[in-house]
């Protein structure tokens, strides 16, 4: 495994493999790797010939400077985990390699980014869409791997891939959870032990809504009430939003019919923001 910092070099390496008819897989991350990231890497290893993992804490997607500064970073430990999984290359650029002096070109995915996380984190998806576009353009993978945990991000990336004409597959893998049900996240490390136990209320609330849905309740407003009521039972948690939307367009749904619907929510607990979601599908 090789760690690469320069854009030009990872570009040349990836191009060489593509020319040799090797399938290039790409897993973008911000490091502080956990089992959720590793699942993406394992899938990438299975489905492609060359696995490239990027580790880049992208400053433009943090609307809160303190959040950026507090973001955990440990390249040595991350690299050890990735080497063990048989990763071929880590691309770990510095910020000025991605954003050279005078950088002024951004990618805005309209319509999908104003609600949910976008409403609470202004500019976040512009930063995500911009960095992912730069990384896609540099690496030009055959398949890029993302986690369903960040459902709005998945919708944004699927849209930009189509709209900008990137010829690649976007593979989306299910959310990996702790035994309690809490979705794995680098942010969980910032929770106290007590808050980490309480944070499972987010998953519990989504599961309660899913049970009601499976029991025959199709109305989004009623399902959202169930999430709100469950979160209220945990005084340490405050709900930022619960949204019931079409999985691809992220448009709000009133009554769940035949399309794939996302129930997504965010809470704050112990000063940490956590997100989670489930897919509700009548066809399952």
Tell me whether residue 99 or residue 145 sits nearer to ligand AMP (CB atom). Answer: 145
Tell me whether residue 25 or residue 256 sits nearer to ligand AMP (CB atom). Answer: 25
Shortest approach of ligand AMP to residue 105 CB, angstroms?
A: 21
202 touches ligand AMP by CB under 6 A: no
- Pick the binder of ligand AMP from 184, 261, 275, 278 (CB under 6 A): 184
30 touches ligand AMP by CB under 6 A: yes
CA atoms within 13 A on the CB side of 23: 12
Under 8 Å CB-to-CB from 6, ≥6 apart: which residues?
93, 97
Residue 229 DSSP class: H
Tell me whether residue 161 or residue 175 sits nearer to ligand AMP (CB atom). Answer: 175
Binding segment (CB under 6 A) for ligand AMP, from list 8-16, 30-38, 65-73, 221-229: 30-38
176 touches ligand AMP by CB under 6 A: yes
- Alpha-carbon span 193 to 191, nearest angstrom: 6
Please check whether residue 40 is in contact with residue 150, taking contact to mean a CB–CB distance below 8 angstroms. Answer: no
Phi, psi of 123 (to 5 degrees): 85, -10
Q: Which helix (H) or strand (E) holds 202?
A: helix 201-214
87 touches ligand AMP by CB under 6 A: no
Shortest approach of ligand AMP to residue 106 CB, angstroms?
A: 18
Identify which of 277, 219, 51, 221 has the alpha carbon closest to the alpha carbon of residue 142. Answer: 51
Tell me whether residue 183 or residue 226 sits nearer to ligand AMP (CB atom). Answer: 183
Residue 255 DSSP class: B
Tell me whether residue 4 or residue 30 sits nearer to ligand AMP (CB atom). Answer: 30
- Alpha-carbon span 253 to 262, nearest angstrom: 9
Task: Look at the chain and count its residues.
Answer: 284
Binding segment (CB under 6 A) for ligand AMP, from list 84-92, 144-152, 227-235, 258-266: 144-152
Please check whether residue 258 is in contact with residue 273, taking contact to mean a CB–CB distance below 8 angstroms. Answer: no
Identify which of 119, 160, 137 has the alpha carbon closest to the alpha carbon of residue 245. Answer: 119
Please check whether residue 28 is in contact with residue 2, taking contact to mean a CB–CB distance below 8 angstroms. Answer: no
Shortest approach of ligand AMP to residue 142 CB, angstroms?
A: 17
37 touches ligand AMP by CB under 6 A: yes
Phi, psi of 41 (to 5 degrees): -65, -40
Binding segment (CB under 6 A) for ligand AMP, from list 76-84, 94-102, 173-181, 249-257: 173-181
- Alpha-carbon span 44 to 47, nearest angstrom: 5
141 touches ligand AMP by CB under 6 A: no
Shortest approach of ligand AMP to residue 231 CB, angstroms?
A: 20
Tell me whether residue 1 or residue 170 sits nearer to ligand AMP (CB atom). Answer: 170
117 touches ligand AMP by CB under 6 A: no
Q: Is 37 a catalytic residue?
A: yes
Catalytic residue among 4, 33, 37, 91: 37
Q: What separation in angstroms does the CA of 263 have from each of 160, 182, 221? A: 22, 16, 11
Which residues are near ligand AMP by CB under 6 A? Answer: 29-30, 36-37, 39-40, 146-147, 149-150, 173, 175-176, 183-186
Q: Which residues are catalytic?
A: 37
């Amino acid at each position: 495994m090789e760690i690469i910092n320069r854009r030009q070099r990872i570009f040349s390496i990836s191009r060489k493999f593509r020319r040799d008819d090797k399938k290039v897989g790409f897993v973008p991350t911000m490091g502080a790797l956990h089992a959720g990231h590793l699942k993406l890497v394992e899938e990438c290893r299975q489905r492609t010939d060359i696995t490239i993992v990027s580790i880049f804490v992208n400053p433009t997607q943090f609307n809160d400077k303190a959040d950026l500064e507090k973001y955990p970073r440990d390249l040595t430990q991350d690299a050890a985990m990735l080497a063990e999984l048989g990763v071929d290359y880590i691309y770990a650029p510095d910020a000025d390699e991605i954003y050279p002096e005078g950088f002024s070109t951004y990618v805005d995915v309209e319509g999908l980014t104003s609600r949910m996380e976008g409403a609470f984190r202004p500019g976040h998806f512009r930063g995500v869409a911009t960095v992912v576009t730069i990384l896609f353009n540099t690496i030009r993978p055959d398949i890029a791997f993302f986690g369903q945990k960040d459902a709005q991000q998945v919708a944004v990336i699927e849209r930009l891939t189509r709209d900008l004409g990137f010829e690649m597959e976007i593979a989306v893998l299910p959310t990996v959870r702790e035994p309690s049900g809490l979705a794995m996240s680098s942010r969980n490390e910032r929770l106290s032990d007590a808050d980490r136990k309480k944070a499972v209320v987010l998953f519990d609330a989504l599961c309660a809504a899913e049970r009601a849905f499976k029991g025959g309740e199709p109305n989004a407003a009623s399902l959202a009430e169930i999430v709100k009521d469950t979160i209220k039972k945990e005084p340490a948690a405050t709900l930022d939003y619960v949204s019931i939307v079409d999985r691809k367009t992220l448009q709000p749904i009133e009554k769940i019919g035949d399309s794939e619907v996302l129930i997504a929510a965010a809470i704050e607990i112990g000063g940490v923001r956590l997100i989670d979601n489930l897919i509700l599908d009548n066809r399952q």
